[in-house]
Structure 1
């Protein structure tokens, strides 16, 4: 652990510098790539993959923006904010980035759990490995200076030393050299795909006995294998083709972990207009699609309790004008709610209450529980 701490302290002492040229946003990925002489594309893809893996990449990038100095500055923007030196970023911009950290951290740890902490641990381990194995390298430059052209008329070879009369002799022809053998690149991509295939096959077999090996978990294992292959390939300049597998898998994995598909496998639209209390079902549910439940033709007396649920879609419930409605509307991942005048939108939102209608208390009583993982919820009187 002492060696790990020393390596991380060395990383901080010789941390990357964000360049002014060649960057896409704040220069964090480009600065890391130049510091450790790896491909900037790989670093950018790593941040995207971390952003899709529970949102960890968002606060990590903002932290790099705040803690890494810009080219030509004395200190980082955060250090300049506490008067430790000069930074080209204004204090207002630094405060703005700091404010953005709060929603980024809330989103990351709100979706959090074990996955977030494992991803953070893996990120720290990658920083440690970079500093341990490539910390001795001098930062690369974005472009090499052009070679100095030779001075016209000045021979590079003087066969007779200082004899002026021989300066106009032709240059000797260079001795032909055999072509240098092309270095063989390590087959990182092939090895990584082989490991990924074994993981996929092993997960399929293990899934017979272990319920943990669901589709989202298996995709997460494959993403981890491909990401490890990219990290290893960055040290030996190989494996860039893995990016084109990692991106779609990360998008699919993000969607499957954001949207819970534990409910039914139904897709489409559900519509119902019950005319008696007995016709109202205990639950209306669908996986992906829409539900439109119209309760306006129910009688003016009695009581009804029902739930409307979807993993992804639009849920609309119409209630009579004079009914006493107790409701709870929720979007567990992200959505927009409009329930009898109460509105909310964003991630993990909920509204609830009781609305007695136009005539006050009395008449038909309705108890509603409307839930979607991702989508729109409406409870309307019309």
Structure 2
């Protein structure tokens, strides 16, 4: 029995190694035959146009993908700069970055290459400083798309227009025959061929119509979800619609017939970015929030931030009365300090992934929650506090000190 189990495990490990080797080979093939940035038809650095020519897809689709990535936590900006530095220009031996380390020649000057390299630092700082977990997911999805492109369309090459070969002169024939009397110079018209009916135009797949139908289903499903999932908000719906439209554009780039979806994807991406960065509650949805109320009336019903940190200090409150408040964040650190003798009923939750430490009760991982009541050192009696501390991704602490 143990031998059969060992054999099965060996087969599984061998299959995994083969799969990983296949992925590595595909990525190496992508690097060996990477896109070339053309000199004509480019908008900025030719990265999007080069990718489109390499895999024979619509360049507008690639440009929209970079814009969407730029709106998804800023990922598109460092990726475009990386393509500018690592993809060779048409006619060059190597890429600008390779030329900088003396691996060949590039038409881009060293000063321009150094400037682009320096621009990568603020671009990466902005991306990873503001995007958090979303950036990692977006980067992983982008690498997966590059892998699939190379796997399925890596064998294609940009179509080249062949120049017509010159017709060689007939041996012994004069270079000029003013009368056209020589038989070999006669150029009699061929009899006209019978007119043929025009070939029917091939019907393009109705990708746009199918995508619009899927988007309508998302809207209908969202209306139902709102009745039983209060956390499901308008930004979630916009995110799902963007995903559906992006999938339709990706399919349409290979089959045709979906270019009109761009005019829906662009405004939705801008709206989604605005709601994510600013939110419905004003421009203070990013950064840090701190409050130290000194009376029960000073305690707000809700302390909310999108991305950042919240520090709520309740230790200045009186020894009697009752308060109820919620502290919430999408991504960040939440810290609440409570008085030593207060009776605290608490609920601490990380709805996606996080770390919890509430009155010594700890948890970490995905979808974690701890709750309970803590009466302090003097037992039950005194100020009563009802706390709901919740984040999607981040750290939650409720401390008695």
TM range (shorter): 0.5 to 0.7
**Unpaired runs of at least 5, structure 1:** 152-162, 265-279, 288-382
Determine the structure 2 residue equivalent to 1:66: 85
Cα deviations by residue, 1:108-146 (Å, 9 ceiling, x for unpaired): 1111123222211221122122212211111135xx578
| In structure 2, C-alpha distance between the alignment counterparts of 1:149 and 1:242, rounded to whole Å | 45
The equivalent residue for 1:347 is none
Provide Cα deviations, 1:271-321, integer angstroms capped at 9, x if missing partner: xxxxxxxxx9888x9x9xxxxxxxxxxxxxxxxxxxxxxxxxxxxxxxxxx
TM-score, length of structure 2 as denominator length: 0.59
Which residue among 202, 210, 215 is the counterpart of 2:229?
A: 210
Secondary structure at the residue paired with 2:237?
helix
- 1:226-245 alignment, distance < 5 Å: 226-245=245-264
State the partner residue of 1:97.
Answer: 116
2:102 aligned counterpart, secondary structure = coil
- Spell out structure 1 runs of 4+ moving beyond 4 A: 144-151, 165-169, 280-283
Give the secondary structure class of the aligned counterpart of 2:88: coil
Could you say if the C-alpha distance between residues 46 and 167 of structure 1 is closer, same or farther in structure 2, counting changes exceeding 3 Å?
same
Q: Which residue of structure 2 lines up, in the alignment, with residue 353 of structure 1?
A: none
Partner of residue 206 from structure 2, selected from 176, 179, 187 = 187
Residue equivalent to 1:351: none
Q: Residues 78, 149 of structure 1: CA spacing in aligned structure 2 closer, same or farther, 3 A cutoff?
A: closer
Q: Deviations over 1:51-77 (max 9, x none)?
A: 111111000100000100011111111
Match of 2:125 in 1: 106
Structure 1 CA distance for aligned equivalents of residues 150 and 142 of structure 2 = 13
Instruction: Quote the residue 1:117 is aligned against.
Output: 136
Counterparts of 1:244 and 1:29 in 2: how far apart (Å)?
Answer: 19
Alignment root-mean-square deviation, CA? 3.0
Unaligned runs of at least 5 residues, structure 2? 1-19, 169-181, 284-296, 305-401
Preserved contact between residue 54 and residue 112 of structure 1 (Cα < 8 Å) = yes
Q: Alpha-carbon deviation of 1:15?
A: 0.3
User: Is 2:276 the partner of 1:257?
Assistant: yes
In structure 1, C-alpha distance between the alignment counterparts of 2:184 and 2:130, rounded to whole Å: 83
- TM-score, length basis structure 1: 0.62
Q: Which residue matches 1:10? A: 29
CA distance 1:243–1:168, change in 2 (3 Å): closer
Paired residue secondary structure (2:43)? coil
The answer as to 2:105 corresponding to 1:79 is no
Query: Could you say what secondary structure the match of 1:225 adopts?
Result: helix
CA deviations 1:307-362 (Å, max 9, x no partner) are xxxxxxxxxxxxxxxxxxxxxxxxxxxxxxxxxxxxxxxxxxxxxxxxxxxxxxxx
The count of aligned residue pairs is: 258
1-structure distance, mates of 2:299, 2:229: 33
Deviations 1:212-266 (A, max 9, x none): 42111211111111111111111112200000000100110010001032479xx
Q: Is the alpha carbon distance of 1:76 and 1:165 closer, same or farther for their aligned partners in structure 2, counting shifts above 3 Å?
A: closer
Distance 1:106 1:200, change over 3 A: same
Partner of 1:133: 152
Give the Å deviation of 1:3. Answer: 2.4
